[in-house]
């Protein structure tokens, strides 16, 4: 009969990708956006802002985060001549310090030259009339997670074989002491009887020389 066909060889498994390094540096800045309030600066405006910053900074969208948005002047105190403006504090995460410092230079130039305003309008902030740099971009080192606590060393466990050895050693010492006591007792008894003129043989221990 024909030999059975061997099963097909499974394809080699591809190695799992290495985890990406965690961001180590943070760029923090704040800008004022004229034409918006905390009410009109909704989720779509938040996304448009992050897209504009990511494009001009040359970073991934996921690395840009809006920390908080506040009104420059509360609505109840704003007059008709005062334009609405929100202050947006944001941060950008980086893995390398060189990328963070180059982004600081790029954002400074974009705010001063009007490039950031144009990009934000392109991304969807159509009500934006002016932009002001409130906090100069600065780079800080993120705090690293604390080191795990040291694992205490376990005390050495006595092996089961060492216990009988210790017991045997104790028994040997005890037997030797008992033999010594019996030998001394017999020796003293022989001396006493020798003085009386009678010699008694001690059966419990080996005979010892009689000292007169």
Q: What's the CA gap between 134 and 117, in Å, rounded?
A: 14
Task: Provide the b/e sequence for 182-197 (b: ≥16 CB within 10 Å).
Answer: eeeebbeebeeeeeee
Mean pLDDT computed over every residue of the chain? 76
Q: Find the distance separating the first CA and the last CA of the chain, reported in whole Å.
A: 106
Q: In this predicted structure, which of 124-138, 169-183, 190-204 has the lowest mean pLDDT?
A: 190-204
User: What DSSP letter does each residue of 52-86 carry, written as one string?
Assistant: HHHHHHT--GGGEEEEEEEESS-TTT--TTSPPEE
What's the pLDDT score for residue 169? 60
pLDDT tens sequence across 81-134:
456 899 999 999 999 999 999 999 999 899 989 999 999 999 999 999 999 999
10 and 90 Cβ atoms separated by less than 8 Å: no
- Over residues 15-26, the pLDDT tens digits come to 666 555 677 899
What is the C-alpha separation between 197 and 64, in angstroms, rounded? 115
Instruction: Could you list the beta-strand ranges (E) of the chain.
Output: 25-34, 64-71, 85-94, 130-141
Q: How many CB atoms lie within 10 A of CB 20?
A: 7
């Amino acid at each position: 009969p024909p030999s059975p066909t061997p099963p097909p060889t499974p394809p080699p498994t591809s190695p799992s990708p290495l985890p990406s390094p965690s961001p180590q540096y943070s760029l923090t800045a704040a800008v004022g956006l004229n034409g918006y309030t905390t009410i009109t600066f909704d989720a779509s405006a938040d996304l448009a802002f992050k897209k504009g910053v990511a494009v001009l900074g040359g970073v991934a969208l996921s690395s840009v985060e809006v920390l908080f948005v506040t009104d420059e002047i509360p609505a109840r105190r704003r007059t008709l001549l005062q334009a609405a403006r929100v202050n947006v504090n944001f941060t950008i995460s980086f893995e390398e310090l060189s990328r963070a410092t180059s982004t600081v230079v790029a954002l400074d130039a974009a705010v001063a030259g009007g490039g950031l305003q144009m990009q934000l309008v392109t991304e969807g902030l159509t009500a934006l009339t002016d932009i002001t740099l409130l906090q100069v971009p600065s780079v800080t080192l993120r705090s690293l997670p604390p080191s795990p606590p040291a694992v205490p060393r376990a005390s050495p466990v006595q092996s089961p074989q060492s216990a009988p050895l210790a017991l045997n050693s104790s028994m040997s010492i005890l037997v030797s002491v008992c033999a010594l006591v019996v030998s001394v007792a017999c020796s003293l008894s022989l001396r006493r009887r020798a003085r009386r003129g009678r010699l008694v043989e001690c059966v419990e221990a080996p005979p010892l020389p009689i000292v007169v």
